[in-house]
Amino acid sequence: METRDYSMLGESGRLAVETGLATAEWYHTQVPRKEMKALMQRADGPAIRDTIILFAGMMVFAVIGVALWPSLWSLPFWLAYGVLYGSAMDSRWHECSHGTAFKTRKYNDWLYQVASFCMIRNPVTWRWSHARHHTDTVIVGRDPEIAIMRPPVFFKLIANFFGIFDTIDGIKRMLLNASGRLTDEEATWIPEQEQPKAIRVARIWVVIYATTLALALAMGSILPLMVIGLPRLFGAWHHVMTGLLQHGGLADNVIDHRLNSRTVIMNPVSRFIYWNMNYHVEHHMFPMVPYHRLPELHDAIKHDLPAPNTSIADGFREMWPALRRQLRNENYFVKRDLPESAKPYREDFHVAAIAAE
Amino acid sequence: MAWIDAIATDDVDEEDLIRFDHDGKTYCIYRSPNDEFFCTDGLCTHEQVHLEEGLVMDYEIECPKHNAAFDYRTGEALRAPACVNLNTYPVKVEGDRVLIEI
pLDDT tens readout for residues A176-226:
999 999 998 888 778 888 899 999 999 999 999 999 999 999 999 999 999
The closest of A168, A118, A121, A164 to A145, measured between CA atoms, is: A121
Distances (CA, A) of A324 to A73, A153, A330, A333, A334: 38, 10, 10, 11, 12
Confidence grade of residue A127 (pLDDT, cut at 50, 70, 90): confident
Q: How many CA atoms lie within 13 A of A328 on its CB side?
A: 5
pLDDT of A304 higher than 80? yes
The closest of A289, A18, A28, A42 to A137, measured between CA atoms, is: A28
Q: What is the homologous superfamily of the domain B3-101 according to CATH? A: Rieske [2Fe-2S] iron-sulphur domain (2.102.10.10)
* A/B interface, count of CB pairs below 8 Å: 46
pLDDT of A346 higher than 80? no
Mean pLDDT taken over chain B: 95
Question: Can you give the pLDDT at residue A345?
Answer: 76
* Gap between the Cα atoms of A65 and B64, Å rounded: 43
Per-residue pLDDT reduced to its tens digit, A83-125: 999 999 999 999 999 999 999 999 999 999 999 999 999 999 9
pLDDT of A343 higher than 90? no
Question: Can you give the pLDDT at residue A129?
Answer: 85
pLDDT of A357 higher than 80? no
Residue A301 and residue A282 in contact, taking contact as beta carbons nearer than 8 Å: yes
Contacts of A254 (CB under 8 A, 6+ apart): A138, A260, A345, A349, A350, A353
Question: Can you give the pLDDT at residue A356?
Answer: 46
**Which chain A residue lies closest to B62 (C-alpha atoms)?**
A288
* Gap between the Cα atoms of A290 and B62, Å rounded: 13
Answer whether B66 sits within 8 Å of A134, measured CB to CB.
yes
pLDDT of B12 higher than 90? yes
Among A14-18, A38-42, A344-348, B80-84, the least confident range: A344-348
Determine which helix (DSSP H) or strand (DSSP E) holds B39, and give its type and residue range: strand B37-41
Q: What angle do CA A279, A282, A288 make, to 5 degrees?
A: 110
- Closest partner residue to A99 (CB to CB) among B46, B48, B67 is B67
Confidence grade of residue A24 (pLDDT, cut at 50, 70, 90): confident
Answer whether A288 sits within 8 Å of B55, measured CB to CB.
yes
**Which residues of B lie inside 8 Å of A (Cβ-Cβ)?**
16, 46-48, 53-55, 57, 62, 64-67, 69, 79-81, 83
- Closest partner residue to A193 (CB to CB) among B16, B53, B83 is B83
* 3-state SS class at A140: coil
Mean pLDDT taken over chain A: 93
What average pLDDT does the segment A227-242 reach? Answer: 98
Question: Can you give the pLDDT at residue B48?
Answer: 87
| B97-101 β-sheet, strand order | B3-8, B97-101, B91-94
Between residues A175 and B83, the one the model is more confident about: A175
When scoring A31, A44, A100, A288 by the number of chain B Cβ atoms within 10 A, the one with the most, hence best to mutate, is A288
**Which residues of A lie inside 8 Å of B (Cβ-Cβ)?**
23, 33, 36-37, 40-42, 98-100, 103, 105, 127-128, 131, 134-135, 191, 193-194, 286-288
Per-residue pLDDT reduced to its tens digit, A248-288: 999 999 999 999 999 999 999 999 999 999 999 999 999 99
Question: Can you give the pLDDT at residue A350?
Answer: 57
- ipTM for the predicted complex: 0.85
Per-residue pLDDT reduced to its tens digit, A143-169: 999 999 999 999 999 999 999 999 999
